[in-house]
Chain A
């Protein structure tokens, strides 16, 4: 269940209260997010839509622990991340967040296997255990036979699959996807959305996705609209309807 009224009292996986973010540009203070409340339960698939500059990416940055709010708090699985030190937040990200980027952001000199292995290098897993996890993740995204290919040897859709495998390989608490289909043709975009959908349905993953694409948003269970830094409405979407 997703709520934006700040009245959610159950054990939400992600809880934001009175979230605000302001930047100072010149002498002017720009409020990107204002008094935002959000409750997301485990297993939800949420899409954020809204015009450019509405604060979608800023919200994702805050939820992913990449940035700190100017006001309010964020609690994830009982941990208030807005009170964490930078060092602790980095460790928290490694454990709890899987990022999927629009431009894939794979490291070009590493193979698909090595790219997916990156988050596991931060764990105490042995080489053999890491290999097993990476093979499983690449198998889930359907690239078990492309393990030793470099990003330049893959299509855009395949690169994004590797990006998703990297995001899920350490079994994070939730996935943050920023325009995951923004750089893909319709067919590849649909394949990626099918994959994300499957991660939610079959593996119970919690996914928060920013998108401009209505067809992508339709895959989410809930679509939230942001306007001028405020969540304005909740729409139960697509297949969940």
Chain B
């Protein structure tokens, strides 16, 4: 492109100013990247939820259990093809800051219900054969440098006591978004040792034959247990994940608000910078027009300069955000899905270019409308 040097050399005219403007974009896009990562971490449960799975909870609250006897009643409902259940354990490994989710699972059914988590057969069999066995996600194993055969002590909080588990398997996710920070152990081991609530489970997950019937089956399930001591509240897995996120407040609104302020400020700063840059070059732009460059060319030239600044700054900021996420979840387990997605990167670059375009449009229009005779005063 024969005009490339015109665009690029203009950016080297005031190197400090260009560097600072690029830096503004980089900082804004780094922040955007991190906000997108945090948002993604909260939303990932919603995004990866199975469309053919329903979650059955106690109507009173998520922390109230349900009777084990519901398992068979759920399985008998026409349209339900599989049932599994689990319990939140809430133990502490070494230090309370070492948070990670621990689930007591129904080992005969859990693996079939969640095929997105892959455990090698031999490891699964070892887990099934060991009452104190545990399966951990690969991210969790990496975090604590656990390997198969390790014995892991966990201090119970909801279910008091010192619990010890043998790592028998390490699962991985089929998709990059799948959460591999969980710790599973056998529900029958929990039920055997706990001192209260024997024969009760945390929640059920059921698979349905036809996702289109989800709304009807939600109603059927909840009616099944209406007027019982433990009424249920059933939701699709996606709705359950979304409501879980909402309990922490409107994360998306917060992120949108912060992001909007940052981008609006960036727009003002860049627009002002470009306006100054164009004003300083009034005479040169007039010369370009005098020698035959059109108004449209001058408009494009100024916008192209802003877009280059936006693209370079945006790429730099998003690159830094990506590097930051490569170090993993900095919260110690609160944000298991700490990953800058390609969609967020694309959106960030698009936003940077849009800000660049908006910031450049007014100075560019003013440059294109410049009257040569006024700008040069005399030719």
Contacts and interface: CB of A to CB of B under 8 A. Distances in A.
Interface of A: 57, 60-61, 64, 66-67, 86-87, 90-91, 93-95, 99, 101-102, 105, 107-110, 114, 118-119, 121-122, 127, 130, 166, 176, 178-179
Interface stretch (B26-34, B64-72, B211-219, B289-297): B289-297
Interface string B342-379: 00000000000000000000000000000011001011
B12 A127 contact: no
B287 A101 contact: yes
A109 B13 contact: yes
Interface in B286-330: 287-295
Nearest to B297: A122
Contact of A176 (B2, B10, B294, B379): B379
A192 B5 CA distance: 29
A105 B294 contact: no
Contacts of A130: 2
A91 B295 CA distance: 11
A68 to B, nearest CB: 10
A166 B372 contact: no
Interface residues of B, number: 24
Contacts of A178: 378-379
B379 A57 contact: yes
B379 A109 contact: no
Interface string B271-286: 0000000000001100
B284 A99 contact: no
A183 to B, nearest CB: 12
Interface of B: 2-3, 5-6, 9-10, 12-13, 283-284, 287-295, 372-373, 376, 378-379
Nearest to A176: B379
A90 B378 contact: no
Given A108-B13, A109-B12, A122 B292 contact: yes
Given A57-B378, A109-B9, 15 more contacts: A57-B379, A64-B290, A66-B373, A67-B373, A90-B289, A93-B290, A93-B292, A99-B287, A99-B290, A110-B6, A118-B288, A118-B291, A121-B3, A166-B291, A178-B379
Contacts of A166: 291
A118 B290 CA distance: 11
25 contacts: A60-B379, A61-B373, A64-B290, A66-B290, A66-B379, A90-B289, A90-B292, A90-B293, A90-B295, A93-B290, A93-B292, A94-B292, A99-B290, A99-B379, A101-B376, A105-B284, A107-B284, A110-B6, A110-B9, A114-B9, A119-B292, A121-B2, A121-B6, A122-B292, A178-B379
Most A CB within 10 A of own CB, among B2, B376, B379: B379
A109 to B, nearest CB: 4
A11 B159 CA distance: 108
Contact of A61 (B2, B284, B379): B379
Nearest to A118: B291
